[in-house]
Chain A
Amino acid sequence: MKHIIQVLVENKFGILARVASLFSARGYNIDSLNVGETQDATISAMTIVVDAPDERILEQIKKQLNKLIDVIEVVDFTRREHIERELIFVKISREAKEEGVISKLIKDNKLSVVANGGSDCILLACVDRQSEEEILRELKKIGIKELVRTGKAAIRK
């Protein structure tokens, strides 16, 4: 099952490697990891989506993260009210853009056009858990040239 974990860390050199190598050394899977500075420049917030097969492993992941010296706080969003979003960039051809599914998504403000020159255009979607599925399903119907995702960022309500 997928879980979103927020990890507040010291904004120090090497911390990303510490977190990443913890996951690989212990055989845990990261679905996505997103990191950036918070309002306090000495603290970074990581949003990690993990795939934990059971509660015991999820607990271990959280405890192991907490054990890292530079980790300040670990918050599991699974049972907490939170907002989550992810940005998805899609590069498609100009012709594909004119297809019904795409123009409808653009009209409904689910996709926006961020670059539109030459033979390709680049679209951007800001998705939550529900719209993510819908958009990806629709996009699969046309030919995508490139897809880039930021990974989820989440915040406590």
Chain B
Amino acid sequence: MKGAKILIESLLKENVEVIFGYPGGAVLPLFDALYDAPLKFILTRHEQAAAHAADGFARSSGKVGVCLATSGPGATNLVTGIATAHMDSIPMVAITGQVKTSLIGNDAFQEADVIGVTRSISKHNYLVKDINDLARVVKEAFYIARTGRPGPVVIDFPVDIQMQEADFNYPPDVSIRSYKPTYFGHPGQIKKALQLIYRSRKPVIISGGGVILAQASPSLLKLAEKIHAPVTSTLMGLGGFPGTHELALGMPGMHGTVYANMAITECDLLISVGCRFDDRVTGKVSAFAPEAKIIHIDIDPTSISKNVRVDVPIVGDAKNIIGQLLEELNTSKLPDTAGWNEKIKEWKKKYPLVYKKTGRRIKPQYVLEELYKQTKGKAIIVTEVGQNQMWASQFYKYDYPRQFISSGGLGTMGYGFPAAIGAKIANPEKTVVDIAGDGSIQMNIQELATVAAYDIGVKIIILDNGYLGMVRQWQELFYNHRYSGTTLKNPDFVKVAAGYGVKGKRVDKEKDVKSAIKEIISYKGPVLADFLIEPEENVFPMVPAGEAINRMIGGMA
């Protein structure tokens, strides 16, 4: 069997259903093999979008996303997408063509050192130099991508190897002696953690993306309810714990809720599950959870004691460890946390997320609230990066894992639209909405051609303020209103959509928001809706960079 065919057969063995990609010279044999393979191929209009779409597919389904590009520029265009997936621990396999092995290192046409370029932004990468390694490499790549702390794996596949012949034997299992993730918590650490839980009168759980990746949501809910601990979900963790639950605190950190940040600052025990204490979460580290003992549950040992000091680290899979804790938990030993929960209730009442409607200009928060209402909280919300992302995290409540999809770690503008394409393909029956800014949407706007060609019913809501809003907000607050490089002269987005054959809509009055959203979500195909919002609306509350997280500005009613 030819190498190209071996790759396709291997993907089928891994139950791959869809590949996002773009052809080119160094993947011609692969595309030829793809032509009559029982695999869906989605041709994006830029390789970066293929990587983000594979990522959105993975985040919304829990399966490994697959993208494919040619050598050189095709591969380098994937880089931002691979780095995005890497920062957020998303399982993905990126396949790149490479010039033929005899030319590698010769600065051949469309050659780039993809292994070198992707080394620090992927979980692992492979250059296939021998056709006999190919099936094993694919098997290992999928295994590495989805196990342990998930992440993207790159397979660089020279064009001559794609044409070589070999027997196809897909290995039944994987054994990598140097890669053995820890899945169960150390029993001694579980006991120590329980002792801290028994002593805590003011516990808080911080739930990160790891909860979603490990499918630990039901266990986490059980734990929180048993120990009566309020739960704050990081941006990556939104939906991991039901956002409408009475124990839910919303998001912590820079644009988190006041009550989440107050709770972290005053708690005596912080149980972190699958959260790596990003600087956007902690603010000033020395003032982060100053009163608390910290239990840190994470599958990646490097996450532990990297940013914050930890009292009881537990390395392993979040679902297993919570299971271990629940198994040994003696509820009769739990102290009374009623006073603490009462205090939190008061904070919630006193400091809700707020904004002021004007009756004229559209407030972005109102758009999100209305979208939440009309989709009954059940849509998959994908975001770009910046103010749109923060409003989407604050004013839509996420009750289900894999419902909120956003580039958290890398903060990649242009991520949302292609990721929404991937999410819609994985969830054709669900409403998928990309919450965009007028800046971000233009970073991958060419994908309107993709949604038009395949009739992918993604809804784009542009919160259009004519600025690169988040940067403008910082310039307003910290750079004396000097709006340097942040003013946008935009195209007519409705006409742009029309040019691509996509339904477009402009909404510029508050009173039209309700009906517009109804129209957008009931329309079958793709829609781009341009909501002209209050230009200088800010995201509040806000913790200024480097400040303690209880030193918030704005947004206090």
Any A CB within 8 A of the CB of B302: yes
By a CB distance below 8 angstroms, the chain B residues around A18 are 119
Interface contacts beyond A18-B119, A67-B300: sample of 6 additional A-B pairs, CB < 8 Å, sorted by A = A14-B115, A17-B116, A21-B119, A63-B301, A69-B123, A69-B124
Nearest residue in A to B301 (C-beta to C-beta)?
A: A63
Q: How far is the CA of A59 from the CA of B301 in the complex (A)?
A: 10
Q: Are B305 and A64 in contact (CB under 8 A)?
A: no
Knowing A56-B305, A63-B302, A66-B301 touch, does A10 contact B178 (C-beta < 8 A)? Answer: yes
Knowing A69-B124, A69-B144 touch, does A59 contact B305 (C-beta < 8 A)? Answer: yes
Q: Are A69 and B302 in contact (CB under 8 A)?
A: no
Q: How far is the CA of A56 from the CA of B115 in the complex (A)?
A: 30
Q: How far is the CA of A22 from the CA of B116 in the complex (A)?
A: 12
Binary CB contact string for chain A from 1 to 35 against chain B (1 if under 8 A, 0 otherwise): 00000000110011001100110010000000000
Any A CB within 8 A of the CB of B356: no
Q: Are B120 and A21 in contact (CB under 8 A)?
A: yes
Q: Are A70 and B178 in contact (CB under 8 A)?
A: yes
Q: How far is the CA of A56 from the CA of B305 in the complex (A)?
A: 7
Any A CB within 8 A of the CB of B478: no
By a CB distance below 8 angstroms, the chain B residues around A25 are 120
Q: Are A69 and B301 in contact (CB under 8 A)?
A: no
Q: Are A67 and B301 in contact (CB under 8 A)?
A: yes
Q: Are A17 and B119 in contact (CB under 8 A)?
A: yes
Any B CB within 8 A of the CB of A72: yes
Binary CB contact string for chain A from 115 to 131 against chain B (1 if under 8 A, 0 otherwise): 00000000000000000
A107 → chain B, closest Cβ, in Å? 48
Scan residues 56-85 of chain A and give those whose CB is less than 8 A from a CB of chain B: 56, 59-60, 63-64, 66-67, 69-72
For chain A, the count of residues having a C-beta within 8 Å of the partner chain is 20
Any A CB within 8 A of the CB of B376: no
Q: Are A60 and B179 in contact (CB under 8 A)?
A: no
Nearest residue in B to A20 (C-beta to C-beta)?
A: B119
Any A CB within 8 A of the CB of B557: no
By a CB distance below 8 angstroms, the chain A residues around B300 are 67
By a CB distance below 8 angstroms, the chain A residues around B176 are 69
By a CB distance below 8 angstroms, the chain A residues around B123 are 69
Any A CB within 8 A of the CB of B306: yes
Nearest residue in A to B121 (C-beta to C-beta)?
A: A25
Q: Is the interface of A mostly helix, strand, loop or mixed?
A: helix
22 A-B Cβ contacts within 8 A?
A: A9-B178, A14-B115, A14-B127, A18-B119, A21-B119, A21-B120, A22-B120, A25-B120, A56-B305, A60-B305, A63-B301, A64-B302, A66-B301, A67-B301, A67-B302, A69-B123, A69-B124, A69-B178, A70-B178, A71-B178, A72-B177, A72-B178
Q: How far is the CA of A59 from the CA of B302 in the complex (A)?
A: 9
Q: How far is the CA of A25 from the CA of B144 in the complex (A)?
A: 22
A42 → chain B, closest Cβ, in Å? 9
Nearest residue in A to B149 (C-beta to C-beta)?
A: A67
Pick the most buried of A21, A25, A67, A70: most chain B CB atoms within 10 A of its CB: A67
Q: How far is the CA of A71 from the CA of B300 in the complex (A)?
A: 15
Knowing A18-B119, A21-B119, A69-B178 touch, does A60 contact B306 (C-beta < 8 A)? Answer: yes
Binary CB contact string for chain B from 302 to 334 against chain A (1 if under 8 A, 0 otherwise): 100110000000000000000000000000000
By a CB distance below 8 angstroms, the chain B residues around A56 are 305
B475 → chain A, closest Cβ, in Å? 29
**Residues of B in contact with A (beta carbons under 8 Å apart):** 115-116, 119-120, 123-124, 127, 129, 144, 176-179, 300-302, 305-306
Knowing A10-B178, A69-B178 touch, does A60 contact B302 (C-beta < 8 A)? Answer: yes
Q: How far is the CA of A13 from the CA of B115 in the complex (A)?
A: 11
A41 → chain B, closest Cβ, in Å? 15
By a CB distance below 8 angstroms, the chain B residues around A59 are 305
By a CB distance below 8 angstroms, the chain A residues around B306 are 60
Q: How far is the CA of A32 from the CA of B144 in the complex (A)?
A: 31
9 smallest beta-carbon distances between A and B, as pairs: A72-B178, A63-B302, A69-B124, A25-B120, A63-B301, A69-B179, A64-B302, A21-B119, A67-B302
By a CB distance below 8 angstroms, the chain A residues around B120 are 21-22, 25
A25 → chain B, closest Cβ, in Å? 5
Q: How far is the CA of A14 from the CA of B118 in the complex (A)?
A: 12
Q: How far is the CA of A106 from the CA of B432 in the complex (A)?
A: 79
A157 → chain B, closest Cβ, in Å? 25
By a CB distance below 8 angstroms, the chain A residues around B127 are 13-14
Q: How far is the CA of A9 from the CA of B177 in the complex (A)?
A: 10
Nearest residue in B to A57 (C-beta to C-beta)?
A: B306
Nearest residue in A to B177 (C-beta to C-beta)?
A: A72
By a CB distance below 8 angstroms, the chain A residues around B116 are 17
B86 → chain A, closest Cβ, in Å? 12
Q: How far is the CA of A13 from the CA of B126 in the complex (A)?
A: 10
Q: How far is the CA of A14 from the CA of B144 in the complex (A)?
A: 18
Nearest residue in A to B302 (C-beta to C-beta)?
A: A63
B216 → chain A, closest Cβ, in Å? 21
B65 → chain A, closest Cβ, in Å? 19
By a CB distance below 8 angstroms, the chain B residues around A22 are 120
By a CB distance below 8 angstroms, the chain A residues around B144 are 69
Scan residues 66-115 of chain A and give those whose CB is less than 8 A from a CB of chain B: 66-67, 69-72
By a CB distance below 8 angstroms, the chain B residues around A9 are 178
Nearest residue in A to B140 (C-beta to C-beta)?
A: A69
Q: How far is the CA of A39 from the CA of B176 in the complex (A)?
A: 20
By a CB distance below 8 angstroms, the chain B residues around A67 are 300-302
Pick the most buried of B176, B179, B302, B305: most chain A CB atoms within 10 A of its CB: B302
B178 → chain A, closest Cβ, in Å? 4
By a CB distance below 8 angstroms, the chain A residues around B305 are 56, 59-60
Pick the most buried of A18, A22, A71: most chain B CB atoms within 10 A of its CB: A18
Q: How far is the CA of A21 from the CA of B306 in the complex (A)?
A: 19
A17 → chain B, closest Cβ, in Å? 7
Q: How far is the CA of A127 from the CA of B49 in the complex (A)?
A: 56
Nearest residue in B to A72 (C-beta to C-beta)?
A: B178
Q: How far is the CA of A10 from the CA of B176 in the complex (A)?
A: 10
Nearest residue in A to B153 (C-beta to C-beta)?
A: A69
Q: How far is the CA of A25 from the CA of B122 in the complex (A)?
A: 13
B301 → chain A, closest Cβ, in Å? 5
Q: How far is the CA of A63 from the CA of B301 in the complex (A)?
A: 7
Nearest residue in A to B124 (C-beta to C-beta)?
A: A69
Q: How far is the CA of A30 from the CA of B29 in the complex (A)?
A: 43
By a CB distance below 8 angstroms, the chain A residues around B302 are 60, 63-64, 67
Nearest residue in A to B144 (C-beta to C-beta)?
A: A69
By a CB distance below 8 angstroms, the chain A residues around B301 are 63, 66-67
